[in-house]
Structure 1
Amino acid sequence: MDVLEAVAVFAAGVAAGGINTIVGSGSLITFPTLLSLGYVPVVANVSNNIGLVPGGVSGAYGYRKELKGQRARLLRLGSASLIGAVAGALLLLGLPAGAFKVIVPALIAVALVLVVVQPRLQKWTVRRREDGRHRPNGGPLLWAGVLLAGVYGGYFGAAQGIVLIALLGIALDDDLQRLNAGKNVLSAVVNGTAALVFIALWIVSDTRIDWWAVLMIAAGSTVGGLVGARVGRRIPPLVLRGVIVVVGLVAIINLLF
């Protein structure tokens, strides 16, 4: 990795850290960036996942005020995120590399659809909250949904935050900013757990990780997570979604062609 490539990956990390904190689609910035620099898809995904962990932590820290009173809920749901993340990470490394090239374009396409329809999902969750159709802790269906989101995030994490905020908004009666704070914690649990699995397998086997890419994304996403928590709400949502969709389409084209 030369200096210009390092700067590009760092900048992508800053953008991803901020986007993950606000929306939850940051991998649609960093993953295509690594692909464009010639990284093998599985290596890019593993390195990207590890690098985004500090950004997830900084984003959750930035929302610490909104996290007050959510400890019991997040411990319960965090167990689902942890189990799902382990399963997803093992699937990523256990399935043939060719499967990743087939599955990930479809996952990116689903993620892009979620990015586009997020405003409608958000309005729906607000209406449900106003109608009082919620259970205090979400019940077993929310736990199962968070588990599946964890599997998705452990395998390929783009837009897992959008999935989580939709699930939380549908199932819980709480302020959306508090739900977003909870989403940041659960996303950090997924990325952190998957990263530990990848690192453990790197130690005992030949799992490939590009540590320079990890370092640049980690540094950038840490900054981006803090910035996103403070000023991210000022970014026009339409502009943000437009950038994500364009980058995601570039990633699909790179993977398919």
Structure 2
Amino acid sequence: MSPLELSIAALAAAAAGAVNALAGGGTLISFPVLLALGIPPIAANVTNAVALSPGYLGATLAQLGNLRGQRERLLLCIPAAVIGGLVGAVILLHTRERTFVALVPYMLFFAAVLLAFQNRVRAWVVRRLAESRHAHHSRFVPVIAVAAAGVYGGFFTAGMSVLVLAILGATVEDSLTRLNALKQIIAFSVNIAAAVFFLFSDQLIWLLAGVMALGAMVGGALGGRVASRLNPDTLRWIVVVVGVALAIFYWFRN
């Protein structure tokens, strides 16, 4: 790739890192940019997933205090998330390029919808927890659901955190703060499992992933610093509109 293309990819990753730090949905920015640069869709998805995965570490570390007392859930959900992420990654690498191209607009649209309903999902989780404090669920129901969400996340990461939070809210009784921490480490586990698997594939563009990873870390740091000055909801809706517009564009393009 030319220095100009690498610079554009790095800027896109920086924007994605900042958006992830502020509102989520950064993949809806960086992935389409890679497609626009002429990167084959599966290689673009793999490279994007690897490049943005370190960004989940900081958010996970920040939530460690809220994971106290959740040892049993962690022992059940983390392996399920890892297995789901690996299965999703395997499915991705065994998907034909033509099939993946056909799925791109639908995945972008689905991720945009998940991001659009992010606040409503949180509000629903809060209401449900308040209304069903004495409900009992099988400990294996969330494990199965987490594994299923992990398959989606290993295949295409955008919107997975919202999906996992909805699953936890429906199947686990606890505070939103603790469920959010659990969601974060589950999303981290899925992304890292898929990213490590992708390291051994021939679809990863190493130089591009390295440049984008640096950009994403810079963007994430900047996003964290300006978080108090920006309205996350406004930014989130901008990303949603961009995601829907890109989904429509790729739908007609296909």
Tell me which interval the TM-score lies in, with the shorter structure as reference length: 0.7 to 0.9
Distance across 1 between alignment mates of 2:134 and 2:30: 35
Matched-pair contact (CA < 8 Å) for 2:145–2:167: yes
Distance across 1 between alignment mates of 2:170 and 2:144: 14
Q: Encode CA deviations 1:29-68: one digit per residue, 9 max, x unaligned.
A: 2101211222111110010111112111122123333333
Instruction: Name the SS of the counterpart of 2:58 in structure 1.
Output: helix
1:248 to partner: Cα distance: 1.5
Query: What are structure 2's unaligned runs of at least 5 residues?
Result: none
Aligned to 1:245: 240
Shift of the 225–234 alpha-carbon distance from structure 1 to 2, 3 Å rule, reads: same
Distance across 2 between alignment mates of 1:134 and 1:36: 51
Distance across 2 between alignment mates of 1:179 and 1:227: 26
Aligned to 1:65: 65
When normalised by structure 2's length, the TM-score is: 0.86
Aligned to 1:106: 106
Shift of the 73–220 alpha-carbon distance from structure 1 to 2, 3 Å rule, reads: farther
Shift of the 83–238 alpha-carbon distance from structure 1 to 2, 3 Å rule, reads: same
1:252 to partner: Cα distance: 2.2
1:137 to partner: Cα distance: 7.9
Distance across 2 between alignment mates of 1:132 and 1:47: 42
Task: Write the mapping of 1:108-187 to structure 2, written as runs, cut at 5 A.
Answer: 108-133=108-133, 139-187=139-187
Opposite residue 214 of structure 1, the aligned amino acid is A
Matched-pair contact (CA < 8 Å) for 1:25–1:162: no
Q: Encode CA deviations 1:225-252: one digit per residue, 9 max, x unaligned.
A: 4555676476423212222123323532
Distance across 1 between alignment mates of 2:37 and 2:184: 28
Opposite residue 84 of structure 2, the aligned amino acid is G
Query: What are structure 1's unaligned runs of at least 5 residues?
Result: none
Q: Encode CA deviations 1:105-127: one digit per residue, 9 max, x unaligned.
A: 21221111111122222211110
Aligned to 1:199: 199
Task: Write the mapping of 1:12-91 to structure 2, written as runs, cut at 5 A.
Answer: 12-21=12-21, 23-91=23-91
Aligned match of 1:219 in 214, 217, 222? 214
Distance across 1 between alignment mates of 2:137 and 2:211: 38
Distance across 2 between alignment mates of 1:18 and 1:69: 31
Distance across 2 between alignment mates of 1:109 and 1:243: 14
Equivalent residue pairs, number: 252
Shift of the 82–164 alpha-carbon distance from structure 1 to 2, 3 Å rule, reads: same
Matched-pair contact (CA < 8 Å) for 2:47–2:208: yes
Opposite residue 218 of structure 1, the aligned amino acid is A
Shift of the 98–13 alpha-carbon distance from structure 1 to 2, 3 Å rule, reads: same
Aligned to 2:250: 255
Opposite residue 100 of structure 2, the aligned amino acid is F
Aligned to 1:209: 204
1:212 to partner: Cα distance: 2.2
Could you tell which deviates more after superposition, 97-106 or 220-229?
Answer: 220-229
Percent of aligned pairs with the same residue? 38
Shift of the 62–137 alpha-carbon distance from structure 1 to 2, 3 Å rule, reads: farther
* Superposition CA RMSD, Å: 2.6
1:169 to partner: Cα distance: 2.5
Instruction: Name the SS of the counterpart of 1:247 in structure 2.
Output: helix
Instruction: Name the SS of the counterpart of 1:220 in structure 2.
Output: helix
1:23 to partner: Cα distance: 4.8
When normalised by structure 1's length, the TM-score is: 0.85
Q: Encode CA deviations 1:130-172: one digit per residue, 9 max, x unaligned.
A: 1134768872221111111100011111100110122122333
Distance across 2 between alignment mates of 1:14 and 1:69: 35
Shift of the 102–64 alpha-carbon distance from structure 1 to 2, 3 Å rule, reads: same
